[in-house]
Structure 1
Amino acid sequence: MLGFHFNAQSIKNKFREFQTLIQTSSPSICALTETWLNESIPNSVVLQNYSIFRSDRPNRRGGGVLLALSPELDPIVVNTPLIDTLLETKWVSFTIKNEKWLCGVVYRPKEVTNGIQDLETMLWELTATPYSGILVVGDFNINWNSNHPLFPELANLANANNLHQLVNQVTCPRHSAMNPEDGTMLDLLFTSRPDRICNVDVTDGLGKSYHLGVKFCIRGTPSRLQNPLRTCFVYAKADKIKLQNLVSRTAWDVLLPLDIDGAWDQFLDLFMACVRDSIPSRTQRKRPKPWITPEMHRLITRKHALFRKAKSSQSQTDWAAFIKTRNRVSYGIKAAYSNYLHSLLTADDSKKRFWSFVRGRKKEPDVKSFVVNGKLCSDPAVIAVNFNQTFASYFTAPTSPAFDITSPYYLCPPYAPSK
């Protein structure tokens, strides 16, 4: 199972490159620090088809952390202890083959001097629940194995919690040269299961961020999660007369004795049975980002190869070639995305595909919070009940007998195609 950590230094101007990286590598876990996001940017704009958990810095620019996990890991947000801290963290539990793990992303701003004590308090509370493994990644702004004043405190915290730091290469090269031997080790990875974490390495960062990325794998799981298959109905070949007859002959009266949830589930089962019997279907894998061309894929592969070559040779010529290719990739992805949007706008279909694309970008699966009885609530069940009560309060009880939907007089008429 593949994972990444990046210090994005503002993901807002790197959305296309970040999404391309996720598409081409299919990691199961991706952690970001310094996202610079705010509540006006929904998760669906950042990344789709992943469970997103983030903590934005309120009321001021910069900071922010984010965890993106594959839904196949059954991720669940873990609430942190209520402590007054400027340390920026997000914690999520996930499951690997019936093993429950805890994953956290941490960003310690340079001016926060008591962040390590706050992190120790969090870990003390969080690990009260037993986990098969703990994984903590982030930018600590503490150079590992150095004379940094907070390094002894961070090392003691790791030892006290049986955590092992596995990054052993520079993650923040000097500005003067992209030399992996000349810089600081600020982006760290701690784990309680070093036997399960392997292939820890640095990789090229996002955009022009001067932080390199950290790549790792977790043993015992697939190294790459395959794109799931989805079922698509071929509506152009639908047998509309058969569908109409099936819907007309369905015994809908079985819904009457059920509650609203049971009736809805039963309705879907009956209706989809009619659909599957009258409309052919096919299975296909999730489509990649349409603006990423084969040429762009090759250029991205070349960028990764040049990074590995430069890191191995430590040659300034190789680093210059990598930087040049990295810039070509960044500009190329943005240009390809703009060209794709332009092609949607100019397509001869009344902008139907364009607005379909926009609607897909606006999907937001996260549950929002609402004020219920004077208190902020995010429980979907409580929110649904209160919405139902509110809508019901605007209607009066019917004075006439309700229609019997099972009566033959209210069955759907036979389908007659227009001439």
Structure 2
Amino acid sequence: MDIISINETNLHEKTQFQLPGFNIFRFDRSNKKGGGVLLAIRQEISCYEVFSQSIDNNECVAVQISTQSGTLLICSLYIPPQIKISSRLFDQLLNINNNCLIMGDLNAASTLLGSRKTNSKGIQLQELLNNTAFSCIDDNITTYERNNYEEKLDWILATRPIIFCINNVNTHMPLGTVSGHKPLTFDLMIMADDKPPSPRIQFSFKLANWSLYRHTLNEKLMQWDVNRKIVSTNDIDEYTTFISESIVAAARSAIPQSSGKINIEISPVTKHLINLKHQFYRSWKKYGVGKNQYYRTREQLTLSLRNDRIARLKRIFHALTTKQMNTGKVWALIRKYHNKRIRQKITSVLKYEQFKVNSDLEKANMFATYFENDIYTSTPDTSAFHIHVSEVVKKINKSISTSSINASSINTSSITTSSINSQSFQAITPKELKLILKQLPNSAPGPDNVHNRCLRNFTKSLIDHLFNLMNASLRPGYVPSSWKTAFIILLLKPGKDRSQVSSY
């Protein structure tokens, strides 16, 4: 499933709810219990929230998704039994987007639309369909079942041509005994635009073949023309990219990639209950027997899964109290508990001063503007230490510029090791480079995906190339542009409004 709509969530605004792999959009009732609507949209789908409120007590949350043919407005709507259908709400949704799909419990029944009887809400629904661009799925499938009473109360509404893209509408058995509503499933024959995948590569270094890595790395580095001179900043950037791509290509060939998923083991009792539940369900549907056993087994399965979680948590805490606990176990635990938070996305409209933005690129630029102008403003540092460092830097710059003027016979655009040695500083030596590479920590890589473990497993050829690159960069004081980019992770402050840039 890619999109899930839930009505009567009964969630409070302070209640946390997450579904792995999905972005959650909610409207919670604040004045009394009950009600509430929720949309869960798979994280790979590009989307953002545009509407979350109650109009005339019609509770609605609406999310705009990007498709190959344009944008589509997806809405989850709940209308309590004694509340009238709000034409204002539907007009507002159409003003946002003419391509609109609504799913929800309207508590409306109409014989003209497939229900077994007609109530006042059903008459209102008929009038709405006659006066707006909305249509409904025309079938007689009952969506509510309680004791001997069955009725069609849940509806799928859509504008044209979206209504013609809906196929394979089916109902399923109610989930539990509290609600009599049957889950509805259908296929929406529209291709949504996927979010671009993360460029970050996760390697499983425990399975690395370092001999193959070094062999492949040497082959890749041999493709560079050793006689080529590095004479400009563009040459430095190109050389940096070549070395980075060579390291990553060698790593891909010799180090398996990690899926990033956490495999959770379940107990034999839980596996047995899962099989029993499936058997009873098939028997119930095929022969009409086993309904009570199915519900009883499902309750036992819920309890067994809960016991598995408790036992797993106890094992984790025990592992953290052992004397031989290593750093890898600590970070593995942190990933388990923070994976959901790391994957959260800023899916609502983002606000900064009087501006509002929706797309990911606009949000990134807005955050950059905010942090640059409001947070990381440069103020004069009047400390004695800063003044001393500034004076030393000025003297060094002056001596470099003076020596450059005196060396008139030297081409100033040329960046070679000999010109470095002629300056007032010493060039980096291969010995120094090896010492530094061996001491690199296991920190996360940047956008170039060059991991420090790959650098620590250097070859003579890699040392030669890094030696040339570092010294070529020192001569003009130019840092390669790819080294100036990094992954930035924004953390929402507890209890803050997620639509404000100042909340991160």
TM-score by length of 1: 0.67
- The correspondence of residues 192-271 of structure 1 with structure 2, limited to 5 A, is 192=160, 193=162, 195-218=164-187, 220=189, 232-236=202-206, 237=208, 271=244
State whether residues 26 and 36 of structure 2, in contact with CA within 8 Å, keep that contact through their aligned partners in structure 1.
Answer: yes
Partner of 2:433: 413
Within 2, Cα distance between the matches of 1:385 and 1:170? 53
Is the counterpart of residue 31 in structure 1 residue 5 in structure 2?
yes
Which protein shows a greater Rg? 2
- The correspondence of residues 242-391 of structure 1 with structure 2, limited to 5 A, is 271=244, 274-278=247-251, 280-283=254-257, 287=261, 290-292=264-266, 296=270, 299-300=273-274, 303=277, 306-307=280-281, 310=284, 318-347=290-319, 349=325, 352=330, 353-363=332-342, 365-367=344-346, 372-373=352-353, 379-391=363-375
Is the counterpart of residue 57 in structure 1 residue 29 in structure 2?
yes
Within 1, Cα distance between the matches of 2:53 and 2:438? 64
State whether residues 370 and 376 of structure 1, in contact with CA within 8 Å, keep that contact through their aligned partners in structure 2.
Answer: yes
- The secondary structure found in structure 1 opposite 2:433 is coil
Change beyond 3 A, Cα 1:138–1:81: closer
Change beyond 3 A, Cα 1:325–1:105: same
Partner of 1:120: 90
Change beyond 3 A, Cα 1:194–1:124: closer
Partner of 1:186: 153
- The secondary structure found in structure 2 opposite 1:163 is strand
One-letter identity of the residue aligned with 2:92: M
Gap regions ≥5 residues in structure 1: 1-26, 258-262
State whether residues 168 and 186 of structure 2, in contact with CA within 8 Å, keep that contact through their aligned partners in structure 1.
Answer: yes
Partner of 2:466: none
More strand by share: 1
The one-character-per-residue Cα deviations of 1:136-157 (angstroms, maximum 9, x if unpaired) are: 2112223453232111111232
The one-character-per-residue Cα deviations of 1:389-413 (angstroms, maximum 9, x if unpaired) are: 2343254378335999x97449972
Within 1, Cα distance between the matches of 2:272 and 2:168? 24
Partner of 1:392: 376
Q: CA deviation at 1:29?
A: 1.5
Change beyond 3 A, Cα 1:362–1:126: closer
Partner of 2:123: 152
Deviates more, 1:92-101 or 1:145-154: 92-101
Q: CA deviation at 1:299?
A: 4.5
Partner of 1:8: none
State whether residues 341 and 354 of structure 1, in contact with CA within 8 Å, keep that contact through their aligned partners in structure 2.
Answer: no
Change beyond 3 A, Cα 1:36–1:147: same
Change beyond 3 A, Cα 1:208–1:157: same
Q: CA deviation at 1:376?
A: 8.7
State whether residues 116 and 153 of structure 1, in contact with CA within 8 Å, keep that contact through their aligned partners in structure 2.
Answer: no
Q: CA deviation at 1:307?
A: 4.7
Deviates more, 1:338-347 or 1:89-98: 89-98
Within 2, Cα distance between the matches of 1:277 and 1:270? 11
Q: CA deviation at 1:326?
A: 2.4
One-letter identity of the residue aligned with 2:4: C
The one-character-per-residue Cα deviations of 1:168-219 (angstroms, maximum 9, x if unpaired) are: 3333322xx3xxx523333222345554323322223444432344232326
- The secondary structure found in structure 1 opposite 2:298 is helix
Partner of 1:23: none
Change beyond 3 A, Cα 1:188–1:304: farther
Change beyond 3 A, Cα 1:155–1:288: farther
User: In the alignment, which of 136, 142, 147 is matched to residue 164 of structure 1?
Assistant: 136
Partner of 1:15: none
Within 1, Cα distance between the matches of 2:353 and 2:261? 44
Gap regions ≥5 residues in structure 2: 225-229, 382-388, 401-415, 421-426, 440-504
One-letter identity of the residue aligned with 2:152: M
One-letter identity of the residue aligned with 1:233: F
State whether residues 80 and 122 of structure 1, in contact with CA within 8 Å, keep that contact through their aligned partners in structure 2.
Answer: no
Q: CA deviation at 1:254?
A: 11
- The secondary structure found in structure 1 opposite 2:120 is coil
The one-character-per-residue Cα deviations of 1:291-312 (angstroms, maximum 9, x if unpaired) are: 4568756755654664565467
Deviates more, 1:235-244 or 1:164-173: 235-244
Q: Which has the higher contact order (CA 8 A, sep 6+)?
A: 1
TM-score by length of 2: 0.57
User: In the alignment, which of 38, 50, 75 is matched to residue 79 of structure 1?
Assistant: 50
- The secondary structure found in structure 2 opposite 1:46 is coil
Partner of 2:75: 104
More helix by share: 2
One-letter identity of the residue aligned with 2:185: F
Change beyond 3 A, Cα 1:211–1:40: same
Say what the alpha-carbon RMSD is for the aligned residues.
4.9
% of aligned pairs identical?
Answer: 18
The one-character-per-residue Cα deviations of 1:3-59 (angstroms, maximum 9, x if unpaired) are: xxxxxxxxxxxxxxxxxxxxxxxx1111112223344455xx511222332223335
One-letter identity of the residue aligned with 2:28: D
Change beyond 3 A, Cα 1:363–1:195: same
Change beyond 3 A, Cα 1:417–1:119: closer
Partner of 1:137: 103
Within 2, Cα distance between the matches of 1:344 and 1:306? 35
- The secondary structure found in structure 1 opposite 2:50 is coil
- The secondary structure found in structure 2 opposite 1:169 is coil
